[in-house]
């Protein structure tokens, strides 16, 4: 049976899709993974112009060419986020026209977040939960010609009826341990305009990820932030708030497997939602294995201020952690409350103090996420965010995002209740309007101005909804300087994980990257091993003499 799986997103990172593709390839030999990379994620030019995220659009000729490349398959499965939903709809419709017997399934984030939209596509089914075990059950019944419409984690179009099934239990740690490693360099295809789907080569990986490998160790998040798609996952199953992950041995072996195929991989980025929420003992085991068997730098994304603990940072930095990314989102307590994010400014500042103590000696400056252009924000809310960042311990850089409202989240409900036009503010979260308040974020990522000058600059800040002058040329200059500063921070330690292209690859081939990591990258001493917590065990009572 021929199955083709299609990932539609900026770039080819696709961590979740790669996991699913590996699983499907295990249970069905004739499986092909196809990538439609709508816009290279780390394009330097797009970063300078502020046009990252303006993807998900293709000409009709390209849509037809993609559909032609999928035609004739028994099953085609799609994976996309909401930003690429319109494109996915179009490809599905065109494939239905030219290959009506192909069974089409839409999975990934969008059908989970907004199943009501996904099921309106000309698909046979959508996957609304974890896909691996659900698809295995579906495929077994599909092959045998049995009814598939009772498969859990799926919705089905059956004539004029939509069959909505319940959810499977979330995967356990032991079940996660049985999954194959994500598919990486194992015969994937990539779409090129006028050429169709062609073999993916080393150059495609280098163009997208430089010398970096991106993965996830854990799934789940203990928070319930109003703007986050995780709220939908938690609504589907409250147990999603628990952190689940396979063993440290599993994730170490996964990285070793990827490096066996691509020896140039010299850094790893963990995009877990809450890596630092993993208990210390498990992080310590991970650190010891990483140090002994890999010894390359790694970054941790998705750091939550509440879980920043010095002992965790010490053991992970000893193992090779060289940068982190933490979500701040806002410096205004009112907006943090609006987002239902229990990270008060004092806790953010305390976390920043711990993080900054490792940089620049051991870490590349940390990156902090900030959300701007929230129509609910007052001028004071914007000022509060700028003041918090002004007070943060340095050095740091910023990842700045314009607010995008994800469908079916609590934020969408709150915005609609306030009569806010969601479509108007949700076009592109990378496009940052060059207003004074936003431009000052770039300034802070570069330098801390003198207080007297800072006070004068703050007087020009307005809420995003207030009509105000924009400075596009100044914005481009500041964004260019900001990106140059970020690149310099990485180049200083020969880290090419966020710098795409062949430059890093050439440095690796010359042996300079490995030499720098071994000879010129300082690492702290192994922290003192924390004693195990003794657990008192009460011995069983002896049998009573009268009854024993």
pLDDT tens digits, the chain, 548 residues: what are they? 999 999 999 889 999 999 999 999 999 999 999 999 876 555 555 555 555 555 567 899 999 999 999 999 999 999 999 889 999 999 999 999 999 999 999 999 999 999 999 999 999 999 999 999 999 999 999 999 999 999 999 999 998 999 999 999 999 999 999 999 999 999 999 999 999 999 999 999 999 999 999 999 999 999 999 999 888 999 999 999 999 999 999 999 999 999 999 999 999 999 999 999 999 999 999 999 999 999 999 999 989 999 999 999 999 999 999 999 999 999 999 999 999 999 999 999 999 999 999 999 999 999 999 999 999 999 999 999 999 999 999 999 999 999 988 888 999 999 999 998 887 776 555 678 999 999 999 999 999 999 999 999 999 999 999 999 999 999 999 999 999 999 999 999 999 988 888 999 999 999 999 999 999 999 999 998 877 655 444 444 444 333 33
State the Cα–Cα distance between residues 273 and 252, nearest whole angstrom: 19
The distance of Cα 135 from the centroid of its chain, to the nearest Å, equals 23
Closest alpha carbon to 303 in 295, 312, 294: 312
Beta strands in 87-211 (DSSP E): 103-107, 125-127, 154-158, 161-164, 189-192, 196-199
Angstrom distance (rounded) from CA 155 to CA 105: 10
Q: What are phi and psi of 43, to 5 degrees?
A: -60, 125
Is the domain spanning 3-177 CATH 3.40.50.2300? The answer is yes
- What count of Cα atoms within 13 Å lies in the side-chain half-sphere of residue 404? 17
What is the reported pLDDT for 46?
Answer: 58
Sheet architecture: strand order including 189-192: 161-164, 154-158, 125-127, 103-107, 75-80, 3-9, 31-37, 189-192, 196-199
**Tokens at residue 408, please?**
């079916």
Q: What pLDDT was estimated at residue 531?
A: 76
Q: Which long-range contacts (CB under 8 A, 24 or more apart) does 447-453 make?
A: 448/390, 448/394
pTM: 0.92
Calculate the CA 182 to chain-centre distance. Answer: 15
Q: Which residues lie closer than 8 Å to 431 by C-beta, 6 or more apart?
A: 50, 51, 53, 54, 402
CATH of 201-519 among 3.20.20.70, 3.40.50.300, 3.80.30.20, 1.10.510.10 = 3.80.30.20
Residue 34 has a pLDDT of 98
Before 11, cis peptide (omega within 30)? no
| Domain range summary for the chain, segments of one domain joined by + | 3-177, 201-519
Length of the chain equals: 548
| CA dihedral sign, ordered 411, 412, 418, 421 | positive
């Amino acid at each position: 049976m021929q199955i083709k799986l299609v990932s539609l997103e900026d770039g080819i990172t696709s961590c979740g899709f790669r996991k699913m593709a590996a699983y499907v390839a295990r249970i069905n030999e004739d499986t092909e993974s196809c990538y439609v990379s709508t816009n290279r994620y780390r394009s330097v030019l797009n970063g300078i112009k502020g046009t990252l995220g303006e993807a998900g659009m293709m000409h009709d000729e390209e849509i037809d060419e993609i559909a032609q490349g999928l035609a004739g398959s028994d099953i085609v499965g799609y994976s996309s986020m909401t930003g690429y939903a319109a494109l996915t709809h179009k490809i599905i419709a065109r494939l239905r026209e030219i290959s009506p017997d192909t069974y089409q399934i839409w999975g990934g984030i969008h059908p989970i977040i907004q199943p009501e939209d996904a099921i309106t596509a000309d698909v046979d089914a959508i996957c609304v939960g974890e896909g691996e075990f659900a698809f295995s059950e579906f495929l077994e019944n599909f092959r045998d010609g049995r009814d598939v419409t009772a498969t859990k984690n799926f919705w089905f179009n059956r004539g004029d009826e939509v069959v909505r099934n319940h959810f499977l239990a979330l995967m356990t740690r032991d079940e996660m341990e049985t999954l194959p490693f994500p598919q990486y360099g194992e015969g994937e295809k990539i779409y090129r305009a006028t050429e169709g789907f062609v073999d993916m080569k080393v150059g495609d990986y280098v163009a997208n990820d430089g010398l970096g490998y991106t993965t996830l160790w854990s799934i789940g998040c203990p928070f319930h932030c109003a703007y986050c798609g995780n709220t939908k996952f938690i609504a589907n199953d409250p147990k999603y708030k628990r952190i689940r992950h396979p063993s440290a041995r599993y994730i170490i072996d996964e990285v070793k497997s990827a490096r066996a195929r691509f020896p140039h991989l010299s850094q790893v980025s963990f995009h877990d939602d809450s890596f630092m929420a993993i208990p210390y003992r498990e992080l310590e085991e991970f650190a010891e294995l990483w140090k002994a068997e890999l010894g390359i730098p790694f970054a941790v994304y998705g750091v939550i201020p509440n879980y920043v603990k010095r002992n965790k940072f010490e053991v992970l930095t000893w193992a090779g952690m060289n940068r982190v990314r933490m979500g701040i989102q806002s410096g205004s307590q009112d907006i943090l409350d609006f987002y239902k994010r229990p990270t008060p400014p004092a806790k953010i500042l305390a976390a920043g103090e711990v993080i900054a103590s490792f940089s620049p000696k051991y870490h590349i400056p940390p990156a902090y996420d900030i959300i701007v252009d929230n129509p609910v924000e007052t001028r004071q809310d914007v000022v509060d965010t700028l003041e918090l960042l002004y007070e943060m311990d340095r050095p740091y850089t910023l990842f700045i995002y314009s607010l995008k409202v994800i469908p079916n989240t609590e934020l969408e409900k709150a915005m609609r209740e306030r009569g806010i036009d969601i479509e108007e503010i949700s076009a592109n979260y990378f496009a940052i309007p060059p207003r004074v308040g936003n431009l000052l974020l770039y300034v802070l990522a570069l330098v801390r101005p003198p207080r007297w000058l800072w006070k004068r600059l703050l007087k020009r800040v307005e809420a995003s909804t207030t009509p105000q002058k924009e400075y596009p040329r100044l914005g481009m200059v500041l964004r260019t300087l900001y990106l140059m500063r970020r690149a310099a921070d990485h180049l200083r330690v020969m880290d090419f994980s966020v710098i795409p292209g062949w430059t890093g690859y050439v440095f690796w081939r010359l042996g300079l990257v490995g030499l720098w990591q071994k000879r010129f990258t300082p690492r702290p001493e192994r922290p003192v091993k924390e004693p195990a917590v003794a657990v008192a065990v009460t011995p069983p009572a002896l049998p009573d003499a009268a009854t024993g």
